[in-house]
Amino acid sequence: MTKKVLVTGGCGFLGSHVCELFRKEGWDVVSFDSMTKYELKRTGYGTDATRDYNWNFLKSLGVTMVKGDIRNQEHLLDRTEGCDFIVHTAAQPAMTISWEDPELDYSTNVLGTFNVLEVARKRNIPVVNTSSIHVYGNSINASLKEGATSYERTPVEIPETQGTMIGQISPLHASKMSAEHYVRAYSDMYGIKAASFRFTGIYGERQFGGEDHGWVANFAIRSVFGLPLRIFGTGKQTRDIIHAADGAQSYLAFFKNPIPGVYNIGGASAHKISLLECIQLIGEILGKKQEILFEVERPGDMRYFVCDITEAKKFGFAPSIKPKEGVTRLLKWIESEKSVFNIAG
């Protein structure tokens, strides 16, 4: 019997990769998305073509397309009839937007997640909430040696037992952590097979990244078009980046072995890279030197995070796409779809 999954935020960057993977695995897939991309507004290429790109791509794969808002529980419940799994990727993802519109941040990330969990409880199906390493706060201790291009730390990788909400936090930190608390409550109280995935540095094709969200794609897009790259801080901020195809696999692995809990989802130390190192990698692949503009560090930004993914490996998560391969794939996609961005160059 064919299985069915509903993906909230299915037309978002990560959600589109989740829909694509499950469709290729033979599932019936429902993309549930409001199609309101606030983070696209300030990129300079937030056109109808960019907003609709993933919708049209998924429709071509045979995904059932639903325009809906996770803040409307009744609509969500109606669309989950017959589903075996909910992958919850819909979110307000940008820290900057959370400063400017905390009500939008709260209603999307907290109320929206509550609605998803209520639907999962009523349908008695597993659910994964897409969280973020932002819940750890921004005070992870790491050192920067003179002349180094990235931060260093011992041990390199950080587990889920690391303290959360440390340092200066934004509404985004608060909403993501609140959502995680509700996921745990629904798992503990109602026996729902629920998990929160704390993603770090996710990137890949079909990501229309900007300065507010999606930094790898932002650097890649601007490099392809010969635009200056703006960095807030030193550029030595360090992450373990993960390609979206690997990220999508994490949800499928969880469904096959649903162990409730909180999990870091990233590339671990093998995928560790700083902003400046990422820009250099992009430049080497393209064969060009980019112009970099430095601005003052933004409040709430995290200088270092590299995931320990030991716990996620227990349900089968195993990232395989190394940064050079993944960034190359991203750049090829951007170059093949230049007209979608509506950028002169």
The domain spans of the chain are 4-341
Question: Residue 86: what pLDDT?
Answer: 98
pLDDT at site 139: 78
| Average pLDDT per consecutive 10 residues, the chain (345 residues; last block may be shorter) | 96 96 98 80 68 94 97 95 97 82 93 98 98 88 90 95 90 94 98 97 92 88 95 94 98 97 97 97 97 88 92 96 98 94 71
C-alpha closest to that of 243 among 166, 329, 316 = 329
Q: What H or E segment, with its residue span, contains residue 273?
A: strand 272-274
Look at residue 190 in the predicted model and tell me its pLDDT.
Answer: 97
- Is pTM beyond 0.85? Reply is yes
Q: Are the C-beta atoms of 63 and 31 separated by less than 8 Å?
A: yes
Angle at 42 between CA 337 and CA 289, to 5 degrees: 55
Question: Residue 284: CB partners within 8 Å, gap ≥ 6?
Answer: none
Instruction: Determine the 3-state secondary structure of 340 from DSSP.
Output: helix
d(CA 33, CA 52): 11
- Beta-strand pair 272-274/64-67: unpaired
* Residue positions counted in the chain: 345
Q: 4-341, what's its fold?
A: Rossmann fold (3.40.50)
pLDDT score of 92 = 85
Report the candidate in 260, 241, 239, 118 with the shortest Cα–Cα distance to residue 197.
260
